[in-house]
Amino acid sequence: MGKSVGRAEVAKAAGVSESTVSRALSDSPLISDEIKKKVRMVSEQLGYFPSRTATLFASNKSFAIGFVVPYYPSIMPFTRPYFPSLLDGLLLGSLEHNYTISIVFENHLGRYRSYYELINSHSYDGLVFAITKDQFPELQPLIDRSLPFVLVNNYQEGAASIYARPDVGMTKAFEHAISLGHSHIGYITGDLQFKNGKDRLAMFEQLARCYHCTTTIV
């Protein structure tokens, strides 16, 4: 059986230090692209592949993103098309940057007491919240400490967010209904505990006044 190859052998063959090998293989910004390429080439030639644990330790990253989804015992989130569609996009993005995605059920954090602890423990490098209620105080510790997270279909001061504004789609829906000769328009609301539900209802009511329509809201 041949002798196993370690970091020292790669460093000697590449003409660099062992610490440079570790940094190069963990894609550290402290190492030039030229050195990274050389170290990776030598590593492959010698058959040296560092353990994931060692790589994570050297980089101080988990290379994992937590995808936070609401949890209702009666309705599991992935039975609805919204959440799988978001997850598809996250997975595509994560593959490009060598990250993994894990599902985190809202307020079911296992041994962790808060989202702050979840990130601070290095279990995840950041969190993506699929949707959160309008009043969601659990976010404030993340904002106060400038920890990385993104809100989808919600917005809050101090937080990065991706939000689909309701004005364009709602306006087109009204214009279409009016073009068909309708003047009494019904609207089925979403969950008004969520900001996007409130914003869509507010836009509907604004357009109804603008177009002088009567309404039925359910």
Task: Classify residue 172 by burial, with Cβ atoms within 10 Å: 0-12, 13-18, 19+.
Answer: exposed
**Residue 75: band (very low, low, confident or very high) from pLDDT cuts 50, 70, 90:** confident
pLDDT digit string (tens) for 124-152? 899 999 988 887 888 888 899 888 999 99
Take residue 69 and report the two structure tokens written for it. 């989804």
d(CA 118, CA 199): 30
Take residue 115 and report the two structure tokens written for it. 């989202």
Q: What angle do CA 26, 29, 30 make, to 5 degrees?
A: 100
DSSP at 133: B
Q: Is 50 helix (H, G, I), strand (E, B) or coil?
A: coil
pLDDT digit string (tens) for 18-53? 889 888 887 778 899 999 999 999 998 988 877 665
Structural contact between residues 79 and 42, judged by C-beta atoms closer than 8 angstroms? no
Which pTM does this prediction carry?
A: 0.69
For the chain, what are the domain ranges?
7-59, 64-162, 167-217
Chain mean position to CA 27: 21
Tell me: pLDDT of 55 over 80: no
CATH for 64-162 (3.40.50.300, 3.30.160.20, 3.90.600.10, 3.40.50.2300):
3.40.50.2300
- 68, 201, 217: which is closest to 136 by C-alpha? 68
Rg (CA), the chain: 25
- Topology classification of domain 7-59: 434 Repressor (Amino-terminal Domain) (1.10.260)
What region does 161 belong to: left with phi over 0, alpha with psi -120 to 50, or beta? Answer: beta
**Largest Cα–Cα separation, the chain:** 85
**Residue 59: band (very low, low, confident or very high) from pLDDT cuts 50, 70, 90:** low
- 1, 63, 3, 65: which is closest to 27 by C-alpha? 63
pLDDT (0 to 100) of residue 1:
42
Structural contact between residues 207 and 171, judged by C-beta atoms closer than 8 angstroms? yes
Take residue 187 and report the two structure tokens written for it. 């609207």
Take residue 214 and report the two structure tokens written for it. 């009567």
